[in-house]
Amino acid sequence: MLQARGELLTAIRAYLDGLSVLEVSTPVLSQGAAVDPHLQSFRLAEASDLFLQTSPESSLKRVVAAYGRSVFEITHAFRKNDQGQLHNPEFIMLEWYQVDSSLTALMDALTALLNSLPQPPQAWRDSASLGIKQCSYTALFKARFDADPNTLSYEALAQLIEQTGTETDVGHLRGPHDEQFRSDVLDYLFLKEIAPTLPRCFYLVEFPTCQAALAEIDVDGGYAKRFELYWGGIELANGYQELRDSQELKRRYRAHDKARRARGLETVRFDGRLADASAELPKCAGVALGIDRLVMLWLEKSALDDVALFGWPDH
């Protein structure tokens, strides 16, 4: 495991160096924190205005905005209340921003990166030999439920989860009826009803607009320009055509802040420097890839603890 982890990290760096993508290091402490209601940040007890970062996204976008360079970072990230077979509160991620790239080009580059890694498992070789399929979230939902995920009423969404899940499955989805509720229900329905019918490895593209996060929206197509790479039902990577509109970013922050308050979650300070940087970003696409999950899948293990240097939390 230790040998494989080291070889994979070396190969990732070699591939990105070949693309002239510059490796940088950014702080893991900041006064700002992630505002997505799904992400809970660790706040330092000794300095209550500082948070451990859930990803290097904000800092890396500021680097891209300031210098116009394609960059990457392999770093530790921290997410509170995230622990289980596929989650740990502390984990390692690759975050990579490619300037002048489309989302499709970044998916091709990510596939090429994975193809460059040593000793791929048979499952990846089989999938890559056929080409990693792109599956439209929006189109799949319309085909399965005969409804547009962007406009389906909250009442109709509530009825769908009542029809498809038990109380144990859907109890957490009984929150306020808002766009965060829409996003959570759509995720549940996708994972339960649609994902099991898809290939072992696939790119999920054309997300509902309520799941745009910090990605651009194709207004005419009615979808968010983002992707996720799935492997055996596990999300391995998450990419955006990066939003470059500071006013729209602030609007999304306010919506997330409202959703957090409605759910009794901790409110956090928004990093205004990210909004400022978004207006200066060159056209770019970015992707985050979980290194621990990659090692797990590459070694054909079933849990992060199987590939951890030390088991969590016995550091």
pLDDT attached to residue 311 = 65
- The SS3 of residue 208 is coil
Contact 295, 10 (CB under 8 A): no
- 166 C-beta neighbours (distance < 10 Å), count: 8
d(CA 8, CA 11): 5
d(CA 286, CA 41): 22
pLDDT attached to residue 60 = 97
* Tens-digit pLDDT profile for residues 27-75: 999 988 888 888 899 998 887 789 999 999 999 999 999 999 999 999 9
pLDDT along the chain (315 residues), means of 10: 96 98 96 87 86 94 97 96 84 97 98 97 94 97 96 94 72 84 94 94 98 96 97 96 96 92 86 90 98 96 88 60
Letter for the amino acid at 79? R
pLDDT attached to residue 5 = 95
pLDDT attached to residue 78 = 94
pLDDT attached to residue 125 = 95
d(CA 224, CA 246): 17
Question: How many helices and strands, by DSSP H and E, does the chain display?
Answer: 11, 11
pTM (predicted TM-score): 0.94
The full 3-state SS of 291-307, as one line of letters, equals HHHHHHHHCCCCCHHHH
Contact 260, 270 (CB under 8 A): no
Contact 21, 45 (CB under 8 A): no
- 101 C-beta neighbours (distance < 10 Å), count: 22
pLDDT attached to residue 212 = 97
| The two three-digit tokens of residue 235, written as one number | 């999300």
pLDDT attached to residue 312 = 62
Q: Which CATH superfamily is domain 2-307 in?
A: Bira Bifunctional Protein; Domain 2 (3.30.930.10)
Q: Which of 212, 218, 210 is nearest to 179 (CA)?
A: 210
pLDDT attached to residue 87 = 87
Q: How far is CA 36 from CA 80, 87, 261, 266, 306, in A?
A: 13, 17, 12, 11, 29
pLDDT attached to residue 68 = 97
d(CA 207, CA 273): 27
Contact 213, 142 (CB under 8 A): no
- What helix, strand, coil percent values describe the chain, rounded to 5? 45, 20, 35
Element (H, E) at 224: strand 223-231
Q: How far is CA 39 from CA 68, 84, 99, 234, 265, in A?
A: 28, 15, 27, 18, 10
- Residue with structure tokens 């199987």? 306
Domain segments of the chain: what residues? 2-307
Q: How far is CA 207 from CA 23, 191, 232, in A?
A: 29, 13, 20
